[in-house]
Amino acid sequence: MPRIVECVPNFSEGRRGEVVDAICDRITAVTGVRLLSREMDADHNRAVITFIGSPDACARAAVDAAEEAARLIDLNHHKGEHPRMGATDVIPFVPVSGVSMDDCVALARQVGEQLGSRLKIPVYLYSYAASRPERQNLPDIRKGEFEGLRDLIGKDPSRTPDFGPNAIHPTAGATAVGARDFLIAYNIYLNTTDKEVARKIAAGIRFSSGGYRYVQAAGFEIADRHCVQVSMNLTNPAKTPMFRVFETVKREAERYGVSVTSSEVVGLVPLAALSDVAEYYLQIERWDRKQILETHLLEAETTAGFLESCAARTPTPGGGSVAAYAGALGAAMAAMVARLNDKKAEPGPLHDLIAPADALVGRLAALVTKDAQAFDAVMAAMKLPDNDPDKPRRSDEAQVAATSAPLETMRESLAVLELARAGLEKSKASCRSDAGVAGLMAFAALESAYLNVLINLPGFRDPKRADEFRRAAADTRARGQALKAEIDALLATHFKP
């Protein structure tokens, strides 16, 4: 499983498209990051940008984006409906796959430290990353906004930041950085210009004043549309679904003689959340979410898309990624064999191999992306101007990363070979062919990754460093060849032509 993090930074700019363009350009310039969406709201004067990638890539993109925002946004001249305390107001990290919440907490701390030391912006950790209980809730940290925090920071001990100077940045303010679960930013519009109606409804549904546990809400006037808005964050849409919030706001609005005109989602929304809404309103009998067409299309597209990318006239994904993919397939087969040997009432002879096999699937799958990103970094370093003082360092770092990835694939594939051998030794007869496939795929991965180590060695400026990689790869290959010989012998015993 690849290690993927989602980052959803909010910036205090919703009217100047060129500023948001510049911030997005800094994000997309980072290798390994994919921009998913950008939303701008002129009334709120706020932009929400969503991107995903590896943890390290997302951390770098977040810091670069905050640097650009600090350069282009001056909060002294910022006005909008949405509360804010920083040019980069909030940077949340959300675990997507192969990454735990603890990993995202560590990422938040890493980014917070860089914002404080590099950009001199005070940083407050929030949600799961909060350093103290009273900072778990973002609205509590943002209370008073930029102007209020400017007066209190450095004087009120409760407003001392976790990172950076104990003083407000004169133009960029302060930033909240945290780790959180996936949330839905959901707004409902009402056909009235009375802001108090929206505020009273928001107070009735948000958790802090007695409402739903997983709802944060506020009421705003949307002058350009001549209406008001109940603006919400649904912090756990599985436990407080969209339809329940919508129906509650609708009923509360009727008490004041107004009605809902429309609603909107800001940013991305999980398919499961929309399925909840469809199931609630349509009341479909005998419904199974496997009936959703796109679910099947996405499953098929995962493999087809990778094969298409490999066949394209682009250098990545290349042989290193294919080697890692082959290793992941071998690990998956080893996990399957171990599970099929379990008995209903008790663990089977290979039960203890399930957890390590699953872990190998995840690590090798992550190497598919890691190898491609490492090669992209080599190409990026090569394109730097020769007079760039940073080019030698960037080139050396990229070369090490591009060689480390296939070496790591070799070592992980060696571990898969050991699981495959155990499968052939202990598995029931009906699973031995699958155990053999696990071993053959793992050996193909190891040999393929070995070629990718060798092809990178001439790019090293330091011959001693190149020799270290050469020896490590040769040693791993020799151990793999010995295991392959044992697997071949077992296959010859179990399978006769």
371 tagged catalytic:
yes
End-to-end CA distance of the chain: 37
Catalytic residue among 41, 89, 162, 371: 371
Give the residue from 441, 448, 439, 412 showing the smallest Cα distance to 320.
448
In 3-state terms, what secondary structure has residue 396?
helix
Beta bridge partner(s), residue 393: none
- Coil, strand or helix at 16: coil
- 312 DSSP 8-state letter: S
Q: What residues contact 168, with CB distance under 8 A and at least 6 apart?
A: 122, 146, 149, 150, 153, 174
Phi, psi of 344 (to 5 degrees): -60, -40
Candidate list 82, 89, 162, 434, residue with the active-site label: 82
CA dihedral of 264, 265, 271, 275, whole degrees rounded to 10: -30
- Verify whether residue 103 is a known catalytic residue: no
Helix axes 319-340, 432-456, angle to 10 degrees: 160
What order do you get walking across the sheet with 184-190 strand by strand?
215-222, 227-234, 184-190, 260-266
Alpha helices of 383-462 — where are they, by DSSP H?
391-426, 432-456
> What values do phi and psi take at 94, rounded to 5?
-125, 125
Is-contact 434 333, C-beta < 8 A?
yes
CB atoms within 10 A of CB 405: 28
Beta-bridge partners for 175: 123
**Active-site residue numbers?**
82, 371
